[in-house]
């Protein structure tokens, strides 16, 4: 009996395209003799499309390996209701990044349907997605982080000058302005003066009603992958050398010239410390399954600061998360198998 896996991909967030790529890598890695795949695409406007039709609906090609193995499946390409999902899959892998996917909403739906799913639960997803609450939880857990403040769009729109002056006083320049709930660097800009700060706030305000402003640091960027439930493991750290001034959307997905150095060239004790902090961060938000924890190492002081945690990190075969595990001794295919086992284990623990 093959395990039936619903792969949820696409989604309503700004990271729709990234999700499609992650899902295709994942589906390719699922051994058709062990797993039966039900692709479930979510369009940018939120329509759900089940089966092979999902690819056309999301304007992407059906991968060959899937077109071939799919004939053996007893799922039709028919419309299906969410309630039916429960009887059709054994586990769901929500390979969705950003809002309505990485933020606890889909996780809550799957909880209600009583379907096991890969990755973080409702709380961890929500906390990991909201940069303000993430920072507050990290603060309580005693994790080192940079100076920041939050601004509501409403505050900014009602008195731009007051908001800008207070940021100038509290944070100074350069600073980074971010929408609180997003990923893939969408809506993030670096500001070096008042004029740029105003522009950056306007940009971020297009994506969210809540904004974060952080001190801009001169840093190396290092990431650690975490895998597990109640006794999580940390991978070797990897370093990103961005092709742009910072690791923006373009540097992440377009130019292809950002370099990943795996493992990162760091002293042994610093690597160990990063791994320890990554696990602390994972546990601070009550993570499960997987997470990628992103750090800064300040160049002048060598100080480690936590930047953020991503509960459903990029999952293509070229992405940092799977590559970190590969370098730590867990190849992609095995990683997928372990994530599915962790999902079933977590589900069983709750019963
Ligand atoms: P992800 O795709 O990893 O979810 P994200 O959209 O959540 O990313 P961040 O990781 O918060 O965004 O920031 C994106 C990038 O901006 C970082 O990788 C880094 O290059 C740069 N950056 C963000 N904050 C700072 C900071 N305080 N100082 C220096 N650089 C920063
Ligand atoms: Mg993020
Ligand atoms: Mg992210
Ligand atoms: Mg990041």
Q: What is the pLDDT of residue 64?
A: 82
- Quote the pLDDT of residue 133: 98
Distance from residue 222's CA to the centre of ligand 4 (Å): 10
CB 54 within 8 A of CB 27: no
pLDDT for the residue 71: 56
Q: Measured between alpha carbons, how far is residue 55 from residues 17, 22, 50, 119 in Å?
A: 12, 13, 9, 23
DSSP, res 254: I
Query: Which is nearest to 33 in space by CA: 8, 65, 80, 69?
Result: 69
Q: Is residue 188 in contact with ligand 1, taking CB distance under 6 Å? A: yes
Residue 9 pLDDT: 97
Catalytic (active site) residue 334: no
- Mean pLDDT of all residues in 28-40: 91
Mean pLDDT of 205-220: 97
If you average pLDDT over every residue of the chain, what do you get?
Answer: 93
User: What is the side-by-side order of every strand in the sheet holding 3-10?
Assistant: 48-50, 35-42, 3-10, 91-94
**Is residue 258 in contact with ligand 1, taking CB distance under 6 Å?**
no
Average pLDDT over residues 104-122: 97
Task: Please give the Cα distance from 226 to 291 (Å, whole number).
Answer: 5
Q: Residue 103: is its pLDDT beyond 70?
A: yes
C-beta of residue 116 within 8 angstroms of C-beta of residue 346:
yes
Question: Is residue 308 annotated as part of the catalytic site, yes or no?
Answer: yes
Report residue 52's pLDDT band, with 50, 70 and 90 as the boundaries.
confident
Residue ranges covered by each domain of the chain? 3-117, 128-144+218-350, 148-215
Q: Which CATH number fits domain 148-215: 3.40.718.10, 3.90.950.10, 3.40.1280.10, 3.30.1490.20?
A: 3.30.1490.20
Segment 54-68 shows an average pLDDT of 86
Contacts 24+ apart (CB under 8 A), 73-76: 73/36, 73/37, 73/38, 75/36, 75/38, 75/50, 75/51, 76/51
pLDDT for residue 254: 73
Longest Cα–Cα distance in the chain: 64
> Which position has the higher pLDDT, 73 or 347?
347
Which residue has a Cα nearest atom 5 of ligand 1?
A: 183
Q: Which pLDDT belongs to residue 267? A: 98
Is pLDDT above 70 for 255? Answer: no
Pick from 66-80, 99-113, 126-140: least confident:
66-80
Ligand 1 touching residue 294 (CB < 6 A)? yes
pLDDT for 78: 54
DSSP secondary structure letters along 212-263: EEEE---EEEEEEEEEESSS-EE---EEEE-SSSS--HIIIIIS---EEESS
Tell me which of 52-56, 248-252, 334-338 is least confident: 248-252
Structure tokens at 319: 């992405």
> The CATH number of 3-117 is which of 3.60.40.10, 1.10.3720.10, 3.40.50.20, 3.30.530.20?
3.40.50.20
**Under 8 Å between Cβ of 324 and 262:** yes
The ipTM assigned to this model is 0.98
pTM of the model: 0.95
Q: How far is ligand 3, taken at its centre, from the CA of residue 30, in Å?
A: 23
In short, whether 200's Cβ falls inside 6 Å of ligand 1 is no
102 C-alpha to ligand 3 centroid (Å): 8
Q: Is the CB of 214 under 6 A from ligand 1?
A: yes
Ligand number, closest to the Cα atom of 96: 3
pLDDT tens-place string over residues 299-343: 999 999 999 999 999 999 999 999 999 999 999 999 999 999 999
Active-site residue flag, 338: no
**Known catalytic membership, residue 243:** no
Ligand 1 site, residue 204, Cβ cutoff 6 A: no
Class of domain 128-144+218-350: alpha beta
Query: What is the model's pLDDT at position 253?
Result: 78
Residue 174's pLDDT is: 98
Instruction: Note the pLDDT tens digit of each residue in 67-78.
Output: 776 654 556 555
**For residue 51, what pLDDT is reported?**
87
| 252 phi and psi angles, rounded to 5 deg | -75, -45
For residue 15 and ligand 1, the question of a CB distance below 6 A is answered with no
Note whether 188 and 248 are within 8 A (CB): yes
- Catalytic residue check, 47: no
Query: Does 292 participate in catalysis according to the annotation?
Result: yes
Catalytic: which of 22, 184, 189, 258? 184
- Among the options 314, 321, 332, 337, which is catalytic? 314
Confidence (pLDDT) at 216: 97
Tell me what pLDDT residue 72 has: 47
pLDDT-wise least confident of 10-19, 71-80, 138-147, 331-340:
71-80
Q: What residues sit around ligand 4, an ion, with C-beta below 5 angstroms?
A: 294
279 lines ligand 1 (CB under 6 A): no
181 in Cβ contact with 129 (< 8 Å): yes
Work out the average pLDDT over 14-38.
Answer: 92
Ligand 1 centre and the CA of 247: distance in Å?
Answer: 7
Q: First-to-last CA distance in the chain?
A: 23
């Amino acid at each position: 009996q093959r395990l039936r896996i619903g792969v949820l991909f696409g989604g309503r967030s700004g990271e729709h395209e990234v999700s499609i790529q992650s899902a295709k890598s994942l589906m390719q890695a699922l051994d058709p003799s062990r797993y039966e795949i039900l692709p479930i695409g979510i369009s940018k406007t939120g329509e759900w499309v089940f089966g092979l039709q999902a690819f056309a609906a999301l304007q992407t090609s059906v991968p060959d390996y899937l077109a071939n193995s799919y004939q053996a499946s007893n799922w039709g390409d028919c419309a299906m209701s969410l309630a039916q999902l429960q009887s059709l899959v054994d586990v769901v892998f929500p390979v969705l990044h950003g809002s309505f996917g990485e933020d606890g909403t889909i996780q809550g739906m799957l909880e209600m349907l009583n379907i096991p799913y890969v990755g973080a639960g409702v709380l961890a997803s929500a906390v990991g997605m909201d940069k303000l609450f993430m920072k507050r939880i990290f603060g309580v857990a005693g994790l080192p982080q940079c100076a920041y403040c939050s601004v509501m769009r409403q505050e900014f729109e009602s008195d731009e000058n007051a908001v800008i002056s207070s940021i100038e006083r509290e944070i100074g320049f350069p600073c980074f302005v971010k929408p609180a709930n997003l990923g893939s660097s969408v809506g993030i800009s670096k500001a070096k003066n008042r004029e740029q700060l105003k522009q950056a706030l306007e940009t971020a305000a297009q994506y969210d009603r809540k904004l974060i402003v952080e001190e801009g640091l001169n840093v190396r960027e290092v990431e650690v992958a975490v895998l597990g439930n109640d006794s999580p493991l940390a991978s070797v750290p990897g370093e990103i050398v961005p092709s742009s001034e910072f690791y923006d959307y373009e540097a992440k997905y377009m130019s292809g010239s950002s370099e990943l150095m795996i493992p990162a060239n760091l002293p042994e004790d610093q690597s160990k410390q990063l791994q320890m902090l990554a696990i602390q961060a994972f546990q601070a938000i009550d993570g499960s399954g997987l997470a990628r924890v992103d750090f800064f190492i300040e160049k002048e002081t060598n100080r480690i600061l936590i930047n953020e945690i991503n509960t459903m990190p990029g999952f293509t075969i070229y992405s940092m998360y799977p590559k970190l595990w590969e370098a730590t001794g867990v190849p992609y295919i095995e990683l997928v198998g372990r994530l599915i086992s962790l999902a079933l284990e977590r589900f069983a623990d709750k019963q």
